[in-house]
Amino acid sequence: MFEPVLIEQNKQWQGDDLPISVPRQVLQEISLYSSSRQIIVITGIRRSGKSTVLRQIQQQLIESKVPAKNILFLNVEHPLLDAYRTEVKYLEQAFNEFLSLTLPEGKVFVLLDEIQFFKHWQVFVKSRYELGQVKFFLTGSNSWLLSSEYASLLSGRTIHLELFPFSFKEYLLAKGINTATKLSIATKQSEIIQQLPFFLSWGGFPEIVLSSDDATRRELLSNYYQNILLRDIVPRFKIANSREIQELARYLFSSIGKIASYSKLGKAVGISDKTVKEYLHYFSQAYLLFEVNQYFPSLKRQMANPKKIYAGDNGFAEALSFRFSEDKGRFLENAVFLELKRRKKEVYYSNGKHECDFVVKEGRKIIETIQVCTALSDENKKREIAGLQEAMHRFGVKKGIILTLEQEEKIGNILVLPVWKWLLNFQ
């Protein structure tokens, strides 16, 4: 029944080479767990490259001498599977057909892409996991893939990793600029700086980075945005009024990096603050938009105070005509936020007499303070430094960072650094 789909998606069984693509940084982390028994779950925003990562895992397995016939790749969003995704027995049947087609010997590796589209997928995965001799790699477009409804079945059996659109390092590699060493970065410095404006404006979705014209990029990003809202969020959470949630999303994209309360956001689009809170949770689950809390030791105070909003990719703001009227600073701030997320940092903002854009928590302590602006000028220098120093003093942090587009200097215990250097860890 499923043989045509299996053969189409597994050309490696016939000795065909897998397509060459930009190696993602998450592969290094995945390789640490490849030999473990746990199920590897990779979540991230639609079109961020999860399918490609599965193909790269597949290539790594083959290079490590795993027989191609022992590897099954299956994108369960394939149109030919539409009629079968409501019953998990068909997932089991597809797996059994794989076994009878290739007759693998020993351990098999199953790579299931966009697994959330198959109802009760976790039942199949758990049963095969318990039988042993199967290693699973799963991807999904939503962090609710591991929500409470699945937790009881898969508890203790998963390792969860997140994939975001290209980092600046990955973006440059896609453009043919290798930044693997300090020497290569120093040698290519002028080219790297020339590429930064595109990355800050259009973001890091692989297909966008490789597109040749702005019209195509805008069309693709608009489609991504609509699919996330109308194919992922609205049906998943059974939202009756899709107009409301679309209006809130549009308003939030125009407010990137700004501080706002649920009540203020609700008044702006004509919905209750409770609904705003719910919708923001849905956005973050789908990696479309994120909210950042003001830091307080008390979780209750964090939840009660206004949030800062960031986009899941800079390209949304550019393509959907949400250009920030103030300056390029909000694109810059959003890019820094996303990089902190890639680095698995626990991020907050600080706001006393002055604001500090990011404070990073590790364990029970704030360990890093970061301010972001396009440039330090006579007009903003005093304010930006005051916000950073206030946060440093409040949290006992000895050194602070101000990230700008071009400037590099040291002001006492504050390091002013071009953002491209920070993004590449070239300091």
Quickly list H helices, 64-188: 89-102, 121-131, 148-154, 168-174, 182-187
pTM exceeds 0.85 for this model:
yes
Cross-strand bridge partners of residue 369: 359, 400
Ordered DSSP codes for 142-167: SGGGGSHHHHHHHTTSEEEEEE-S--
Domain 3-163 classification at class level: alpha beta
Q: Which residue has the tokens 């390789």?
A: 31
- The ranges of the chain with pLDDT < 50 are 325
Q: Tell me the CB-side half-sphere exposure of residue 123, using CA atoms within 13 A.
A: 10
pLDDT score for 152: 66
Angle between helix 89-102 and helix 121-131 axes, rounded to 10 deg: 50
Angle between helix 262-269 and helix 242-253 axes, rounded to 10 deg: 120
Cα 317 from Cα 319, distance rounded (Å): 6
- The closest alpha carbon to 422, from 346, 348, 339, belongs to 339
- The closest alpha carbon to 165, from 218, 117, 201, 208, belongs to 208
Cα 214 from Cα 318, distance rounded (Å): 10
Residues 321-356: tens digit of each pLDDT: 666 545 688 999 999 999 999 999 999 999 999 999
DSSP state of 294: B
Cα 308 from Cα 351, distance rounded (Å): 11
Q: What is the residue extent of each domain of the chain?
A: 3-163, 169-423
Q: What average pLDDT does the chain have?
A: 92
Give the CA radius of gyration of the chain.
23
pLDDT score for 284: 95
